[in-house]
Structure 1
Amino acid sequence: MNAPDALAQDFVKFSVGAGVLRFGEFRTKAGRLSPYFFNAGLFDDGAKLGRLASFYARRLLASGLEFDMLFGPAYKGITLAAAIAIELAREGRNVPFAYNRKEAKDHGEGGTLVGAPVAGRVLIVDDVISAGTSVRESIAMIRAAGATPCGVAIALDRQEKATDADGRDAELSAVQAVRAQLGLEVVAVATLADLLAYLRSGADPALEQYAPAVQAYRERYGV
């Protein structure tokens, strides 16, 4: 049995402490009743955002994935791209970043893209991949700029089956679909398996009670 991923375990502990990762009963967008909820929008102050970016930066540097710049899709990806770029620079890897506007600007510099020129191998950064819509939109913008999308970095891989247009369970998870259908590597700071390992580790005795429900959810919807 593989040893727990230390970085992922630290990230899960941090997410719980920040109130970003919660346990109970939550209805997902797909209509599933989930025993946990991960809301990256609650990394909402300087200290939490900085630590979050540090986890991304360390995971990316350890992954060996080659990229020339970061791209943050609006809106959550904007602050993520900026914060991760700062942390990568602190780690000795200085890369440019860019992001998009939701609506094109018709004055000043104009256009939908802001920041560094989008060029070379572009890494998309976001919090999670739910349906892959944001990733597809980002790919289109990156290619339209003449650059090459090379991967996606996310905080948590839920490792569960996506749903199709009719609400039925798909064969692949959203992350697997990005890899298989779009040909992009996905780097996640942590996965549902890491979350489950944390619950079972005894690191937080108050949370151990949720492990059976999370395991049952994974068995029903997991990939």
Structure 2
Amino acid sequence: MSAAPLDALAQSFVAFAVEAGVLRFGEFKTKAGRLSPYFFNAGLFDDGAKLGRLAGFYAERLIASGLAFDMIFGPAYKGITLAAAVSMELARRGHNLPFAYNRKEAKDHGEGGTLVGAPVKGRVLIIDDVISAGTSVRESIQMIEAAGATPCGVAIALDRQEKAAEGGVDSPLSAVQQVQQRYGLPVVAVAGLADLLAYLDGTPELAAHRPAVLAYRERYGV
């Protein structure tokens, strides 16, 4: 049986994340208390060039997915920058759409409220860096529906493809699968753990990290 073809966009993204120092290898403790052999910190896409390239990956994946949406919503805080950057990139590619985001604390002067930006209406795409516990997605869905709009999907940079941890117990589903099952929303990811392993396969200088990542996937993967 032949191996699945490599996803060129995902491979380019993983290479970019490694070069930018956003994707690192070693030993890192996750929110679930697991020791992960890799760490993805989207906060390190921290200059104009990196953010622009990141937005390009999101835009390309979203356009290729065929997912229909009328606007973008970025949950505070990382989602705010992502929503702005991706909406600019989509407009550059001929898809000019409005975007909005939320404040963590409601404002009681000026326009007030927690939502900022374009009116939240129609089919709304939620954009974030990863889905860890699904809390950000759940809160976003509540805000979008309260505004009278319809959540229609979630876009993320990296799908860790590992079992979600609920109350210290491993779920048979990943956080992404839980979002898909609970809310019936498609999740569009630029890359996943499988793409990361494929990248390590083809990158001799990082090959030493592959056994640890593979062992982690065998223990926690879905």
Scaled to the shorter chain, the TM-score interval is over 0.9
- Where structure 2 has 5 or more consecutive residues not aligned to the other structure, the ranges are none
Equivalent residue, structure 2, for 1:175: 176
What is the SS of the residue equivalent to 1:70? strand
Cα deviations by residue, 1:158-196 (Å, 9 ceiling, x for unpaired): 00000112x110111000000011111000000000000
Q: Which amino acid letter does the alignment assign opposite residue 70 of structure 1?
A: I
What is the SS of the residue equivalent to 2:200? helix
Equivalent residue, structure 2, for 1:126: 128
Q: Which amino acid letter does the alignment assign opposite residue 144 of structure 2?
A: I
Q: Distance in 2 between matches of 1:2 and 1:171?
A: 24
Q: Which amino acid letter does the alignment assign opposite residue 132 of structure 2?
A: S
Q: Distance in 2 between matches of 1:113 and 1:25?
A: 38
Cα deviations by residue, 1:51-105 (Å, 9 ceiling, x for unpaired): 0010000000000111000000000000000000000011111100000000111
Deviation at 1:197, TM superposition (A): 0.3
- For 1:42-81, what aligned pairs fall within 5 Å after superposition? 42-81=44-83
- Where structure 1 has 5 or more consecutive residues not aligned to the other structure, the ranges are none
Match of residue 36, structure 1, among 32, 35, 38: 38
Deviation at 1:22, TM superposition (A): 0.3
Equivalent residue, structure 2, for 1:222: 221
Equivalent residue, structure 2, for 1:86: 88
Equivalent residue, structure 2, for 1:109: 111
Q: Which amino acid letter does the alignment assign opposite residue 156 of structure 1?
A: L
Equivalent residue, structure 1, for 2:206: 207
- For 1:120-159, what aligned pairs fall within 5 Å after superposition? 120-159=122-161
Q: Which amino acid letter does the alignment assign opposite residue 85 of structure 2?
A: A
Deviation at 1:2, TM superposition (A): 1.7
TM-score by length of 2: 0.98
Cα deviations by residue, 1:15-63 (Å, 9 ceiling, x for unpaired): 0000000001111111111110000000001110110010000000000
Q: Distance in 1 between matches of 2:99 and 2:11?
A: 28
Q: Distance in 1 between matches of 2:20 and 2:204?
A: 17
Q: Following TM superposition, where does structure 1 have runs of at least 4 consecutive aligned residues deviating by more than 2 angstroms?
A: none
Equivalent residue, structure 2, for 1:161: 163
Equivalent residue, structure 1, for 2:10: 8
Q: Distance in 2 between matches of 1:217 and 1:182?
A: 28
> Identity over the aligned pairs, expressed in percent?
79
Q: How many residues align?
A: 220
What is the SS of the residue equivalent to 2:109? coil
TM-score by length of 1: 0.98
Give RMSD over aligned pairs: 0.6
What is the SS of the residue equivalent to 2:73? strand
What is the SS of the residue equivalent to 1:113? strand
Q: Distance in 1 between matches of 2:172 and 2:197?
A: 22
